[in-house]
Structure 1
Amino acid sequence: MKDSRGYRAFRVVNVVVLSLVVVVTMYPFVNILAQSLSSEAAINAGQVNVVPRGFNLQTYEVVMGDRAFWRGYANTVLYTVVGTAISMFLTTCFAYAVSRRHLKGRTFFITFAVFTMFFNGGLIPNYVLVTSLGLNNTIWAIVLPNAVSVFNLLVMKTFFEAMPEELEEAAAVDGLNTYGILLRIVLPLSKAVLATMTLFYAVTHWNAWFQAFLYLDRADMFPVTIYLRNMIAGVTTSTSMQATTESAGQVAANIQSVTMVLTVLPIVMVYPFIQKYFVSGVMLGSVKQ
């Protein structure tokens, strides 16, 4: 059966529109990468678009030689790993519990969780709470306040609800308790949604800067996003960097671009490895079967 003329026209328009969307989406990233590899003169003259002009790696050497940058990087890795582990543990347990239709008070717990999507205590009450608990200048001030994302919770709950109840009933007959069913039956069948939620939480923790800016006073605990924020805001200077006077102008010209590229690189490298889980995890958890 041949495609109709209207359908073929739709496909052409669809390809053109989506290609334009890809170009518009990718341009800022390519432009930042090009600026990070360009010379001071080309950047100041506005000659850099998608191709580097006056290729140089000097600023990369300066930034990667800065101990504060690597200290922030190590802190970010720590916060991301610990925060993602805590978030996944709490979200998985909560989602699995409320996905069981026989759970007493199930509606209350779901309503309570959804309520927090629209209403929260606000900045000042949250700050007072974290401070009164003595969490300032600790990792827990970063990873605990937003440990559970209600959106991720609802996606995972819907995914668990779509699983056949017969599997759990058969496992219960074989002698598995609730924890055994979750660990040995449910989770092995939920790799797609688990990978997707892990990515969501990891990206959130990696990009987070405001909580660190709010609750951390010690520079040795700052994540790399605070380093980047200070670069963009113009607060951090090159005092800790051993740049020569001749190279100071070049470093100042594209130091923000270099820092941004180095900051987002790990997350960009992770995406291809979990791409196959990403779409299926979101679709299966977002559509109730």
Structure 2
Amino acid sequence: MSSIKRTKGERVFGVINVIIMTIIMIVTVYPLLHVVFASISDPSRLIKHQGALLAPLGFSNQAYKMVFQNPSIFIGYKNTLFYVLVGTTINLFMTSLGAYGLSRKNLLWGKPIMFLVVFTMFFGGGLIPFFLTVKNLGMLNTRWAIVIPSAISTWNLIVMRTSFMGIPDSLEESARIDGANDIVILFKIILPLSLPVLAVMALFYGVGHWNGWFDAVIFLRNRALYPLQVFLREILIINADKNTMSINRPLEDELIKKQLKYCTIIVATAPILCIYPFLQKYFVKGVMVGAIKG
């Protein structure tokens, strides 16, 4: 087969594309590499360094020791894994149910209901009514206060609804002729055909639970229920307080506090970075499928 000859303009466009994408990649990746290098560098050399950091300056794991010697970190990891796994499961289940109902063309009062759903994206009751609602439901200071009130994201619901609407009606009609009800249609036809969207929703919800800390600060009083982000926040705040520095070694403590910020970023983001490559192949397809048809 003869190769397709590209015009001079196409070759120039290809070169420019490669250059632009390389610059974008460097701009995106370098901040993460900077944090990794800084977290394992020698604190005394790190604080004197100026400009780009292209490699670790010596080696020191003292900041990581300070983080992982704190027993609260492992409690936080355990609780965060619970919130991510259980919370994301609840999110996907509830969002799928809502999206399926709203995607049906014969839904009674479908447009007014959809209007009320979209309305919540722009107007909310505020923090105090939200707190009182959680308290009156008996979820205050329980794990359920973290996963139940945020069971459905309006934006994710709209994306999943749009994806469901793109599935041919003939599949549903054929299933109903065979005697299938809505539960069977949803779980045996709609969801298996929507795996890319489900993967994207799982990533969105999972990252939200992993990074969540505000709801825990508001609704939880028992430290045994705190997620990882709350403990990391405490470590940063405590070590940022100048009154906590040792009188005998104030300079060393100040150096460690600078490095500790980089270390906590790595501890908080590393697990998500390990999971993301497995879902990345679904990401673009899932978002596009859920955004094309309105």
State yes or no: 1:199 paired with 2:203: yes
* Matching residue within 143, 146, 162 for 1:142: 146
Q: 2:240·2:257 contact (CA, 8 Å) conserved in 1?
A: no
State yes or no: 1:187 paired with 2:191: yes
C-alpha distance in structure 1 between counterparts of 2:282 and 2:198, whole Å: 9
SS in 2 for 1:190: helix
C-alpha distance in structure 1 between counterparts of 2:123 and 2:239, whole Å: 34
Structure 1 214/285 Cα, relative in aligned 2: closer, same or farther at 3 Å? Answer: same
Q: 1:208·1:225 contact (CA, 8 Å) conserved in 2?
A: yes
SS in 2 for 1:274: helix
Structure 1 partner of 2:173: 169
Q: How do 1:69-108 residues align onto structure 2 when only pairs under 5 Å count?
A: 69-108=73-112
Structure 1 partner of 2:213: 209
Structure 2 partner of 1:241: none
Find runs of 4+ consecutive structure 1 residues off by over 4 angstroms.
245-251
Render the CA deviation track for 1:186-240: whole Å, top value 9, x for unaligned: 1111111111111110001111111111222222221111122223334688xxx
Q: 1:130·1:136 contact (CA, 8 Å) conserved in 2?
A: yes
Q: 1:96·1:157 contact (CA, 8 Å) conserved in 2?
A: yes
**One-letter identity of the residue aligned with 1:13:** I
> Which 10-residue stretch deviates more, 69-78 or 139-148?
139-148
Q: How do 1:123-134 residues align onto structure 2 when only pairs under 5 Å count?
A: 123-134=127-138
Identity %: 40
Superposition deviation, residue 251 in structure 1: 4.2
Structure 1 partner of 2:15: 12
State yes or no: 1:24 paired with 2:27: yes
State yes or no: 1:284 paired with 2:289: yes
SS in 1 for 2:58: coil
Structure 2 partner of 1:157: 161
Q: Which runs of 5+ in 1 are unaligned?
A: 238-244
SS in 1 for 2:191: helix
**One-letter identity of the residue aligned with 1:271:** Y
**One-letter identity of the residue aligned with 2:32:** F
Structure 2 partner of 1:121: 125
Q: 1:231·1:256 contact (CA, 8 Å) conserved in 2?
A: no
Superposition deviation, residue 287 in structure 1: 0.7
> Which 10-residue stretch deviates more, 93-102 or 258-267?
258-267
TM-score for both structures, normalised by structure 2: 0.88
SS in 1 for 2:167: coil
Render the CA deviation track for 1:60-117: whole Å, top value 9, x for unaligned: 2332232111111111111111211111111000001111111111112211111111
Q: 1:171·1:181 contact (CA, 8 Å) conserved in 2?
A: yes
TM-score for both structures, normalised by structure 1: 0.90
Render the CA deviation track for 1:221-262: whole Å, top value 9, x for unaligned: 21111122223334688xxxxxxx898566434222222211
* Matching residue within 269, 273, 280 for 2:278: 273
SS in 1 for 2:140: coil
Aligned-CA RMSD value: 2.2
State yes or no: 1:264 paired with 2:276: no
